[in-house]
Amino acid sequence: MHIFIVDTNFFINLQRPLGLGSSKEEVVDSLIKKSETAVQKHELELLTTPASFDELVGFFENQEDIKKKLLRVISIQSPDISTVSLQAGLFADLVEEIGKRLYRGLRITEETVRAVIQDSEKDTRILSETYVKLLRERYRKATREGFLDSTVDLGLILLARQTNGTLVSSDNGLLLWAQRFGCKQLLPEYFATKLDALVNV
């Protein structure tokens, strides 16, 4: 059986050429059409965690309808953290990376405050809006971009590790750390082609 762990951004990051439709609703319908028969025959299993599923459903207006549709092909499973073993070196690397990013965030905050003080003679309202926006963007890039920044992402990695499944995502941070955890991975734009190949075998 082929197992895929599907991340939320597979459905909502429409900037990538998935070949499954121009809206997230179309992506859901196309995924069901391509995979439902194989899922029913137990040739294919699409998994996600409870937290990731809740996150995904939250992006749709008709949430109950979307839940029913998705559950036709996607199974929800929590990783069994009592049975997944990980190298201590990974956690050492993770803690080190957290420290570096917190320091970067601190430096960016300091730089922004200094810039505000230097420009304090300008219109205070305009100044605050400009610098808050700048600080938010720079802080996000320094602390979150290319990083494993949520328990939702960690859950997907652990589930992929436990099931030996392939993680489907375009999140650079998630993919980077999935690689370090030894997980198989696939970019969303290749997933439809992969499904077609599996179904037509």
Per residue in 172-191, pLDDT tens?
Answer: 888 988 998 889 999 988 88
Please tell me whether residues 80 and 115 are part of one structural domain.
no
How far apart CA 201 and CA 197 sit, in angstroms, is 6
* 198, 44 contact by CB (below 8 A): yes
Instruction: State whether residue 75 is helix, strand or coil.
Output: strand
How far apart CA 147 and CA 117 sit, in angstroms, is 31
Take residue 99 and report the two structure tokens written for it: 């420290």
Please tell me whether residues 98 and 139 are part of one structural domain.
yes
Please tell me whether residues 81 and 103 are part of one structural domain.
no
How far apart CA 30 and CA 9 sit, in angstroms, is 16
Q: What integer is the mean pLDDT of 29-35?
A: 92
Please tell me whether residues 50 and 67 are part of one structural domain.
yes
Q: How many domains does the chain have?
A: 2
Average pLDDT, the chain: 83
* 173, 146 contact by CB (below 8 A): yes
Please tell me whether residues 69 and 13 are part of one structural domain.
yes
Total-model pTM: 0.75
Please tell me whether residues 36 and 72 are part of one structural domain.
yes
How far apart CA 147 and CA 6 sit, in angstroms, is 18
Cβ neighbours of 66 (radius 10 Å): 19
Please tell me whether residues 36 and 132 are part of one structural domain.
no
pLDDT digits (tens, 9 = 90+) for 123-174: 555 556 777 777 777 776 766 666 677 788 889 999 999 999 999 998 888 8
Instruction: State whether residue 15 is helix, strand or coil.
Output: coil
How far apart CA 99 and CA 165 sit, in angstroms, is 31
Domain limits for position 22: 2-85+150-199
